[in-house]
Amino acid sequence: MLLHVDSLDKNEILRYLGHRSGQLSAELDETLERCIRDTLQTIRPMAITKRFPIQHNEADIQIIGTNLILTGSSIRNHLAPVSEVWLMAATVGPAMDKLIRARLVNQPDEGVILDSCGAAAVEAAADQIQSELKLQADQEQKFITSRFSPGYGDLPLQIQKEFLNALDAGRKIGLSVTDSHLMTPSKSVTAIIGISNETITGSQDPCDACRLRMVCELRKAGTPCWK
Amino acid sequence: MLEITQKITLLDGAFGTLLQKKGLLTATVPEANNLTHPDAIIDIHREYIRSGSEIIYASTFGVNAYKLSGTPYKVEELIEAAVANAKKACEIENPAVKIALDCAPIGKMIKPNGEMSFTEAYEMFREVLTAGEKFGVDLVIFETFTDLLELKAGVLAAKENTALPIFASMSFEANGRTFAGVPISSAALTLSGLGVDAVGINCSLGPEQIFPLAQELASWTNLPILVKPNAGLPNLITEEYDLSPREFAKATAKFADIGATLIGGCCGTSPEFIAALREELAGKTPALRKPVQRTALCSSEQTVEINQVRIVGERINPTGKKRFKTALLEHDIAYILSQALEQTAAGAAILDVNVGMPGIDEPAMMAEVVEAIQSVSNAPLQIDSSDPAAIEAALRIYSGKALINSVNGEEKNLAKILPIAKKYGAAVIGLTLDENGLPQTAEERLRIAEKIVKRAEDYGIAREDLLIDCLTLTVSAQQDQALETLKAVQLVKQKLGVRTVLGVSNISFGLPDREIINTSFLTLALEKGLDLPIINPNNRSMTSAIEAYNVLMNIDQNSAHYISQHAENQAVKPGAAEQKSEVTLEYAVMNGLQWAAAEVTKKLLDTQQPAKIIDLILIPALEKTGIRFEKGEIFLPQLIQSATAAQASFEILKQEIAKQPLDQQTLTRGKIILATVQGDIHDIGKNIVKVVLENSGYQIIDLGKDVQAQKVAAEAAAQQAQLVGLSALMTTTVKNMQETIQAIKAVSDCKIMVGGAVLTKEYAMTIGADYFGKDAKAAMDIAKEVLG
């Protein structure tokens, strides 16, 4: 389905760019605004979701009706209280990748800003989907977990191909993976959201839900902010 | 052979939908049902034949080496079984029914959207196609494609390895583009050019949404048109499609009114839908279509119709440009790309690409440059070479319909180039000269043009794909020739009805104030019917002459474009003028003032040597910036801005250095090879390091992303580089980094630095790197330590 993302969070983009503090110069602020405008004009956010029952096995979790098997303790922990999940995939489309590539040639400062704008855009798309799913869960008086993506914790990135197959994401939203399990278009997100009859409690690694996860120096250094 | 007649041929409907009903879709490979449940497959085919399908698709949609990898199945065995099942169904129900090999996209994206190479895609298609032909299909249908270059790889694989008729169908969204951004016009032009037997639209949408898209398709091609819509649009929750068989059939039968002749159904349809469609189509004959004669070029994302004056940018050409020659020799693709983007921003609609110079492997360089340009630009390309091998190398991997520059009236030349143009569906520029040289009169030039058009038509190249260049001569040497050229343009246009091209600026060679002569000649030529002026679009007086012409000829409605280009003319670089007198180069670099950095550098060159400027000003300024970045006083975009300002200064210095004899051009601080390791396509980190190092005065050999270990090692040895920088973003590709390090160490004793989001210093040392570059500043420090 086609989504509408019509604004981006400037502070989030600045965080992605490693901006620590202080006022932006007027020029830089203008550049950032221009990049956000270019991004909003370029992206074509699309997403697909599908609901599946799951089966907890001793060593893994099986997504019933697909060939997708989730391994690792992080995801078992994350989905411990649930018997159903939504799989979701969102992308802002290949035009954003091309815009970033082109801008990096002649205006590399804008290129790196656009790269972060693209990341913010797909996060915004994923947020939108998640709130829609939350609404649906509310109606059923159920609860949802946070998003958990392949590559988080010890959930291997290798499942991306089967993950996208389960959603027919190639055909539905033009999303595929490379041989090294990266998604193309690159500004894309896949995630698993658990559906539970009970309120979600228990220990979910806070980093898993954090959108700074991939760029966080603290987490990389093994000293996340919450420890 | 398959006969495509002026009658409607009914295709079949969905396969997956029916497998699902039989509970057979959950298999890892749906096509494995050909082996495990042949009766179910044969039943589905039989149902379609009974409901009226005259061509059925063998159940081979997702069969290819990529999708079967990691499964016990082989491409050939599944295709053999699928074709056997289809044949069985035909034998039982109706032997006259034809069988199509059904061929879907590979399943991963081709470059530049993904990492799959053209050759990899081609080889996978070849395997599928040769198996299909071997087991006896009647034709191949490529369907559900979204990437034009991937489809081109498939079509070429079919043409070069089989004799199968080819139907090619893409999936479009309601906005008239595929997921990869391909508009209908580009699909139609490219596929018609490649000589497929039918083009079409399938999947994604229902018949009502596809109808206007099919109309558009019919306006761009003379080929038979195929449509296979879905059974309407899916309900987002139930995933059921919203049209009944009757509703679907009524809407789909309307395609006959626009002349479509190959009609069936895609997702959500069933034999019931096809039977209803047969009833609705009974007695209908497809409408006769108007012949299409449009001169147009395209990239995969943009079509440029030559129905008004279009600027061809001439700047991607080493002739007479020292800086460009250096870029080619040093493999500086980024410089070439910057020339491409600058020209389109200045108004070029088409880009001429010429990389011919001594000491260059022209076919390889041409292919590399074309691939790089199409990864950042949407402008259609004009392939400029006299080497047929270079032209073919470019056309093969070009995504779209290109223009060849050029053929001439010489028989030998025509016999070499025209078959290539025909095979790849390119348009061609014909120069009006031949074995006897360049004729002096307009009439003789017309005669050569006639001959070129005639020969092209003999090869099956349509007249609208021929453009004629009547050749501009230098007016200071042969003053009477300007008039002859202008007259020839008019004659060729009137008598042959072809579009015309002229390289304009040659006219003024040897005269002062060349711009005045150029602009005046351009205006005269436009009035005589010049369609494609080949010019430097950065020259404002030339582009302005065209903008003015479009106003006066009543083409630019309400002068809208003219006004948009000229109203804000005075607003260039506000404040820059007062800045440049006060600002130092150090200040300009540290504050990222690109334009000021260039201007100050020009001034400094009056009194200082380039090497001094680099050592005493640029490098210290960059180092100070690096420290500020490290301390968090500035952040990434500012670091890049500083590096870019330094680059602007370096550009000026490079131009200065290029003026010196070659043996004295050794001002770089040393050579560094950079690469993102195999499997990794995220190269933004590597690119940032590149910008910073390049602007710190090092010569960077950028091998790009997804680079094989052996290639890095070979380059390290060949270039005798002292430092190699490797980047890997993903945990999955770190092991490739280790392999690359081992490969380099085996052939070279250069130092190796590594970086990337998932690396740590400890890990970098474990896998054998000499240095860990945690960011661009660290890379700068390492380069300084190794190279000085």
Give the model confidence (pLDDT) of A146-196 as tens digits.
899 888 778 888 999 999 999 999 999 999 998 878 899 999 999 999 999
ipTM of the complex: 0.89
Residue B574 C-alpha, separation from nearest chain A C-alpha, in angstroms? 12
Rg (CA), chain A: 18
pLDDT at B644 over 90: no
Q: What is the pLDDT of residue A227?
A: 43
Give the right CATH number for A32-205 from 3.40.109.40, 3.40.430.10, 3.10.180.10, 3.30.70.980. Answer: 3.40.109.40
Evaluate whether residue B571 is within a structural domain. Answer: no
Residue B50 C-alpha, separation from nearest chain A C-alpha, in angstroms? 29
Q: Which residues of A touch B180 (CB under 8 A)?
A: 94, 174
3-state secondary structure of A183: strand
The residue length of chain B stands at 788
Nearest CB to B114 within list A28, A98, A184? A184
Nearest to A124 by CA among A178, A61, A47, A18: A47
Nearest to B776 by CA among B690, B706, B701: B690
Q: What is the pLDDT of residue B679?
A: 74
Domain count, chain B: 4
Question: CB distance A214–B105 less than 8 Å?
Answer: no
Evaluate whether residue B131 is within a structural domain. Answer: yes
B442 and B479 fall within a common domain: yes
Question: CB distance A94–B28 less than 8 Å?
Answer: no
Give the model's confidence band at B171: pLDDT under 50 very low, under 70 low, under 90 confident, else very high. very high
The model's pTM: 0.89
Q: Which residues of B touch A18 (CB under 8 A)?
A: 635-636
Residue B356 C-alpha, separation from nearest chain A C-alpha, in angstroms? 23
- Which amino acid, residue A12? E
Question: How many CB atoms within 10 Å of residue B419?
Answer: 15
Q: What tokens does B228 get? A: 């296979």
The CATH number linked to B627 is: 1.10.1240.10
Q: What is the pLDDT of residue A224?
A: 59
- Which range of B26-40, B513-527, B649-663 scores highest in mean pLDDT? It is B513-527
B621 and B711 fall within a common domain: no
Beta bridge mates, B431: B408, B469
B122 and B190 fall within a common domain: yes
Give the model's confidence band at B682: pLDDT under 50 very low, under 70 low, under 90 confident, else very high. low
Q: What is the pLDDT of residue B558?
A: 93
Handedness of CA B454, B294, B487, B352 (dihedral sign): negative
Evaluate whether residue B334 is within a structural domain. Answer: no
pLDDT at B214 over 70: yes
Helix (H) or strand (E) holding B106: none
Residue B122 C-alpha, separation from nearest chain A C-alpha, in angstroms? 17
Nearest CA in chain B to A93: B179
- Cα B448 from Cα B434, distance rounded (Å): 7
Give the pLDDT confidence of B93-146 residue by residue, as tens digits. Answer: 999 999 999 999 999 999 988 889 999 999 999 999 999 999 999 999 999 999
Question: CB distance B181–A17 less than 8 Å?
Answer: no
- Cα A19 from Cα A16, distance rounded (Å): 8
Residue A154 C-alpha, separation from nearest chain B C-alpha, in angstroms? 11
Range with the poorest average pLDDT among B150-164, B194-208, B468-482, B561-575: B561-575
Nearest CA in chain B to A67: B28
Nearest CA in chain B to A181: B732
Question: CB distance B638–A28 less than 8 Å?
Answer: yes
* C-alpha to C-alpha distances, B482 to A76, B501, B502, B523, B529, nearest whole angstrom: 80, 15, 12, 13, 15
Range with the poorest average pLDDT among B234-248, B477-491, B739-753: B234-248
- Cα B94 from Cα B236, distance rounded (Å): 38
B531 and B613 fall within a common domain: no
B65 and B146 fall within a common domain: yes
Evaluate whether residue B368 is within a structural domain. Answer: no
Q: Which whole number is the average pLDDT over B360-373?
A: 95
Q: Output phi, psi for A136, to 5 deg.
A: -65, -40
Nearest CB to A180 within list B113, B633, B733? B733
User: What angle is formed at CA B299 by the lines to CA B298 and CA B302, rounded to 5 degrees?
Assistant: 75
Nearest CB to B376 within list A17, A98, A176? A98
Which of B506, B536, B566 is the last residue before a domain boundary?
Answer: B536
Evaluate whether residue B445 is within a structural domain. Answer: yes
Helix (H) or strand (E) holding B506: none
The residues, ordered by sequence, that sit 6+ positions from B628 with a Cβ below 8 Å of its Cβ are B590, B634
The CATH number linked to B70 is: 3.20.20.330
Nearest CB to B114 within list A18, A106, A176? A176
Burial group, residue A190, by CB count within 10 angstroms (0-12, 13-18, 19+): buried
Long-range pairs, B1-6, Cβ under 8 A, ≥24:
B1/B165, B2/B98, B2/B138, B2/B139, B2/B165, B2/B197, B4/B165, B4/B197, B4/B198, B4/B224, B4/B261, B5/B261, B6/B261, B6/B285, B6/B286, B6/B288
Question: CB distance A102–B640 less than 8 Å?
Answer: no
pLDDT at B2 over 70: no
Which of B636, B663, B690 is the last residue before a domain boundary?
Answer: B663
Nearest to B772 by CA among B707, B714, B733, B727: B727
Range with the poorest average pLDDT among A23-27, B307-311, B432-436, B490-494: A23-27
Nearest to B654 by CA among B693, B607, B605: B605
Question: CB distance B108–A176 less than 8 Å?
Answer: yes
Q: What is the pLDDT of residue B571?
A: 46
Q: What tokens does B32 get? A: 């494995």
B677 and B651 fall within a common domain: no
Q: What is the pLDDT of residue B632?
A: 80
Q: What is the pLDDT of residue A50?
A: 94
Residue B258 C-alpha, separation from nearest chain A C-alpha, in angstroms? 27
Nearest CB to B28 within list A22, A67, A97? A67
Question: CB distance B644–A108 less than 8 Å?
Answer: yes
Helix axes A94-106, A108-139, angle to 10 degrees: 160
Beta bridge mates, A87: A50, A192
B657 and B677 fall within a common domain: no
Q: Residue B462 sits in which domain range? A: 402-536
Question: CB distance B688–A112 less than 8 Å?
Answer: yes
Give the pLDDT confidence of A205-218 residue by residue, as tens digits. Answer: 656 655 566 666 66
B274 and B406 fall within a common domain: no
Give the pLDDT confidence of A101-138 residue by residue, as tens digits. Answer: 999 888 888 999 999 999 999 999 999 999 999 999 99
B672 and B654 fall within a common domain: no
Nearest CB to B109 within list A101, A176, A215? A176
B523 and B613 fall within a common domain: no
Give the model's confidence band at A25: pLDDT under 50 very low, under 70 low, under 90 confident, else very high. confident
B763 and B750 fall within a common domain: yes
Q: What is the pLDDT of residue A208?
A: 62
Give the pLDDT confidence of B586-633 residue by residue, as tens digits. Answer: 999 988 888 889 999 999 999 988 878 887 888 888 888 888 887 888
Give the pLDDT confidence of B415-428 residue by residue, as tens digits. Answer: 999 999 999 999 99
Question: How does the average pLDDT of chain B come out, rounded?
Answer: 91
B115 and B206 fall within a common domain: yes
Question: CB distance A94–B181 less than 8 Å?
Answer: yes
Nearest CA in chain B to A66: B26
How big is the A-B interface in CB pairs under 8 Å?
129
Which of B260, B281, B302 is the last residue before a domain boundary?
Answer: B281
Nearest CA in chain A to B116: A178
Residue A34 C-alpha, separation from nearest chain B C-alpha, in angstroms? 14
Give the model's confidence band at B572: pLDDT under 50 very low, under 70 low, under 90 confident, else very high. very low
Q: Which of A155, A160, A179, A215 should one mutate to test binding to chain B, selecting the residue with the greatest count of B CBs within 10 A?
A: A179
pLDDT at A225 over 60: no
Give the model's confidence band at B653: pLDDT under 50 very low, under 70 low, under 90 confident, else very high. confident
Helix (H) or strand (E) holding A211: none
Give the model's confidence band at B661: pLDDT under 50 very low, under 70 low, under 90 confident, else very high. low
Handedness of CA A168, A169, A172, A176 (dihedral sign): negative
Of residues B655 and B284, the one with the higher pLDDT is B284
Residue B245 C-alpha, separation from nearest chain A C-alpha, in angstroms? 23
Question: CB distance A182–B730 less than 8 Å?
Answer: yes
Q: What is the pLDDT of residue B4?
A: 54
